[in-house]
A and B are shown apart, each in its own frame.
Chain A
Amino acid sequence: MAMPMLPPDWPGGFWAHWGVFVVIIFVFVLATIMGFIWFERRAMAIMQARLGPNRTGPFGVFQPVADALKLLIKEDIVPAKGDKLVHWLAPVVAVVPVLMIFAVVPFQGGAILADLNIGILYIVAISSVTTVGVFMAGWASNNKYSLLGAMRQVASVVSYEIPVVLSIIGVVLLAGSLSMQQIVIAQDIPFILLQPLGFLLFFIGACAEINRAPFDLMEADSEIVAGFNTEYSGMKFGLLFTAEYGEALAISAIVTTLFLGGWRGPVLPPWLWFLIKVGFVFFVIVWIRTTVPRVRIDQLMALAWKFLFPLALLNLLITAVEILVLPAVSPWVLVGVNIAVMIVLVFLWSRLFKLGWGRVEV
C-alpha cells in the first residue's frame, strides 16, 4: 500500500536530518508537556466541578509557563544530610531517558530521528533508566517518605516491566518487526482490535510504570507526601516533574504507535492524526486519575504477578498460535475471536484471584 513517506534523510543529508529532528523533539516534548500539564489541570477541574487555572492568558494556557518561571527563580534547597552529588544528578538521570525515547517515535511516515530496527526494544531499555533517577532522588534526599516512595517505584517497575514487554511481543509478532515505523506500516487494522488483551495489559502496566493513578503510590500525596520528590525544590523539582509528564507523553506516543495505528488516519495530515491520538490517550489517563482510588502496594504487586503476567503469557501464546495456524484467515475474524478471548480471560481471572492480601501478623 502506498503511503506518503518522507525520505529517510529528510531534509537532505545526515547532519541536517539529525539537527532538525533533535530540535523538533526538544520543542515537541517540552511544548507538549506544558500543554499536557495545562490540559490535565483544566480537564480534571471540569470533571471535578471546578474551574482550574484560568487567569494566565486565555483559558489559563500560560499557567505552566508561569509555573516554570516560578520554579526557575525559586531557591534550590538540598537537605543538609542528603547526598549532594546524587541529589543533583537524580533529576538529570530521570529526564534524559524520557527525551531519548522520542528518538524512535515516528511522527509521520519517515519523520523519525532514527528508524532503529530494534526501536521498541530500545524504548523498553531506555525507559527503565528513569527508575534509577527516581531511586537516586529518593535515596539522596535522606527522607523516609522519599525512600519509601523510591522503594515502591523500583518494586513496581521491576514487576510491571515483564507484562509490559510480553504484551509488546504480541504486537511485534503481528507486525513482524521491532522497528516503530514498520509496526505502524503493518497496521492496516489498528492493533488495538487485533490485540485487545495486549492493549489492556500494556496500558495498565504502563500506567503503573509511569506512576499514574490508580498506581501512583510512589508519590501518593495522601500517604507519603509526594514520595521521592518531597525534598526537591526549584528547577530540580521542575525536571522531575518534566520527567514524569514526559513519561506520560511517551507512553501515550507508544500506545498510539503500537496499538492505535500511529500517524495513519483519513483526511487529516498524518502528524495531526498522531497528535490527536496522543492527546486522546493522555485524556484517558487523566480520566482514570480523576475517577478511581489508589491501590495498595501488595495489591499492586498481586496485580502484576497474578493478573497481568499470566494473562500476558496467554496472550502471547494465543497470538503465536493464531499466526502459525491461521495465517490465511481474514483479520476481521481474528478481531472477533481476540475480543471474545479477552472478555473470557479477564472475567475468569477477576473471579479466580483476590487482589492482595490482608492483615499481617506481627
Chain B
Amino acid sequence: MVIKTEPFVVNFGPAHPSTHGVFRMRMTLDGEVIVDMEPVFGYLHRGIEKLAEERTYTGCIPLTDRLDYLASMSNNLAYVLAVEKLAGIPVPERAEYIRVIMAELQRIASHLIAVGAFLNDCGAFMTPIVYMIREREKILDLFEMACGQRLTYNYMRVGGVSQDVPEEFLPALGKFVKVMPGWIDEYDRLLKENEILLARAKGVGILPKELAINISASGPVLRASGVKWDIRRADPYSIYDRFEFDIPIGSVGDCYDRYRVRVEEMRQSVRILKQALKDLPEGKVRSDVPHLIRPPVGEAYAHIEAPRGELGFYLVADNSIAPYRFHVRAPTLINLTALREMMVGWKIADAIIIFGSIDICMAEVDR
C-alpha cells in the first residue's frame, strides 16, 4: 500500500523569531526536507528612495540611517561620498580619518550582531549573542560620545563629519582596540571548534563561487565563497589605500566559512583602527559647504564596502537642492537572490542558519 502524501507548505514569517525582521519564506516541505522555497518580502517598504527625492541633499542623511540600522555609519558614509562625487566637494584630512574610524567600528559592531545572531540561530541559546552585545555596547558608547546617538547616528556630513570627536573619545577608542582582540579570541574559544557547530554549519548552504559571482553577491557572503573582492582594495575610496589589512576569504562558501570570514574581518578592522588612531591628524573636520547644496546636472555612483557587502548610492542631480533620483544598491537584497539555491534539499533547521549566515537587515532589503 502506498500512503498518499502531499507537500506541507509552511509560511516562515513575516513574524518569526529567526527571520531577522519581517521576511517571509514560503517553504514547501517533505517531512523536514525543503523541496521548494519562495522568499516574500516588501513588508517593511517605506518608500525611502522616493522620500529622499523630496529632501535636500543634507536632509537625506537621516534617511540613510534608517536603511541598514545596524550599520548606519556605513550608510552615511556611502551617501556622503556619492554627494561629494556629484558636487566635487573636498574633505579635510582629519574628517577622512574619523570617517574610517567610524566605518570600521561600525563594521565590528555589525559583525558582532551578525555572528551572534547566526550562532543563536544555530541554537546556542542566547549566550554568544549576549557576549557579543556586551562588546557592541562599548562601540555604541563610543558613537554616543561622538554624535550623541546610539542607533541612527546622522554623523557624516557632505564635506566631512558633523562635529569633531570629543577629547575623551580617543583614549576610549585606544582602550577598545587594545581589549577587542582578546574578546574575539574569547568568542573563538567558546564555539569555533564546537563539534555540534561544525556538524551544523560545515558544508551546509554552499554558495558556489560561480553562482556567487553571477548573482553579484558581495561582502562576507562573496568572500566566504573564495573570491578576494573587497571594495576597500578593489576600488579604494576615502583613504583606505593608506592602511594595511588582509582580506580574509573562505574556501567552500558554506555557513561556517561565512561565520569565520566575519570573525576574521573583525580582527582586520581592529588593525585598521589601530593604524588610523596612530596617524590621526589635527585640523578641521568639515570643509565649507553651503547649507543648500546645488550640484550641477549629472549623476554619480559611490560604493563602499559596508559590513554586509557593496553598498552603493546612485544619485542623479538636476541642479536643484534635492536629488532627482536616489537609488540604493542594497547588498543584502542582492545576496538574498541565491537563497533558494542554497536552501533546497536541506532541512528546516538548516534553512534558518543559512538565512542567518547571509546576515540581512530587512530595513535595507525593503527600503
Which A residues are closer than 8 A to B by beta carbons?
44, 47-50, 144-145, 148, 213-214, 216-217, 220-225, 289-299, 355-356, 358-362
Q: Are B197 and A360 interface neighbours, CB within 8 A?
A: no
Alpha-carbon separation in the docked complex, A231 to B222 (Å): 40
Known: A47-B127, A48-B127. Is A148-B348 also a contact (CB below 8 A)?
A: yes
B130, B194, B197, B349: the one contacting A49 at CB < 8 Å is B130
A356 to chain B: which residues have CB within 8 Å? 199
Q: Are B350 and A290 interface neighbours, CB within 8 A?
A: no
Main secondary structure on B side of the interface with A: mixed
Most B C-beta atoms less than 10 A away, residue of A148, A221, A298, A360: A360
Most B C-beta atoms less than 10 A away, residue of A221, A222, A224, A298: A222
- Interface band, chain B: 35 or more
A48, A145, A148, A216: the one contacting B123 at CB < 8 Å is A216
**Residue of B at shortest CB range from A226?**
B17
**Residue of B at shortest CB range from A361?**
B345
Main secondary structure on A side of the interface with B: loop
Q: Are B196 and A225 interface neighbours, CB within 8 A?
A: no
Residue B361 is within 8 A (CB to CB) of chain A in the complex: no
B251 nearest CB across to chain A (Å): 17
Listed stretches B30-38, B103-111, B138-146, B166-174; interface member: B30-38
A152 nearest CB across to chain B (Å): 8
Q: Are B130 and A50 interface neighbours, CB within 8 A?
A: yes
Alpha-carbon separation in the docked complex, A145 to B12 (Å): 9
Alpha-carbon separation in the docked complex, A115 to B200 (Å): 44
A74 nearest CB across to chain B (Å): 20
B200 to chain A: which residues have CB within 8 Å? 293-296, 299
Alpha-carbon separation in the docked complex, A361 to B122 (Å): 23
A48, A50, A144, A361: the one contacting B10 at CB < 8 Å is A144
B36 nearest CB across to chain A (Å): 8
Alpha-carbon separation in the docked complex, A355 to B345 (Å): 18
Q: Are B345 and A49 interface neighbours, CB within 8 A?
A: no
A50 to chain B: which residues have CB within 8 Å? 130
Q: Are A222 and B345 interface neighbours, CB within 8 A?
A: no
Alpha-carbon separation in the docked complex, A361 to B344 (Å): 8
Alpha-carbon separation in the docked complex, A216 to B203 (Å): 23
A208 nearest CB across to chain B (Å): 13
Q: Are A293 and B124 interface neighbours, CB within 8 A?
A: yes
A296 nearest CB across to chain B (Å): 5
What are 22 A-to-B residue pairs whose CB atoms are below 8 Å?
A48-B127, A48-B131, A49-B131, A50-B130, A148-B348, A223-B352, A290-B127, A291-B124, A292-B124, A292-B194, A293-B191, A294-B349, A295-B123, A295-B199, A296-B200, A296-B350, A298-B347, A299-B199, A356-B199, A358-B203, A358-B204, A360-B33
B120, B196, B352: the one contacting A295 at CB < 8 Å is B196
B32, B120, B196: the one contacting A292 at CB < 8 Å is B196
Q: Are A221 and B17 interface neighbours, CB within 8 A?
A: yes
**Residue of B at shortest CB range from A50?**
B130
A358 to chain B: which residues have CB within 8 Å? 203-204
Q: Are B196 and A293 interface neighbours, CB within 8 A?
A: yes
Q: Are A223 and B18 interface neighbours, CB within 8 A?
A: yes
Q: Are B194 and A293 interface neighbours, CB within 8 A?
A: yes
Near A by CB (< 8 A), chain B positions 313-367 give: 344-350, 352
A19 nearest CB across to chain B (Å): 41
A44 to chain B: which residues have CB within 8 Å? 125-126
Alpha-carbon separation in the docked complex, A299 to B122 (Å): 13
Beyond known contacts A224-B348, A293-B124: 9 more, CB 8 A cutoff: A217-B123, A217-B349, A222-B352, A223-B348, A223-B349, A291-B124, A293-B122, A293-B194, A362-B34
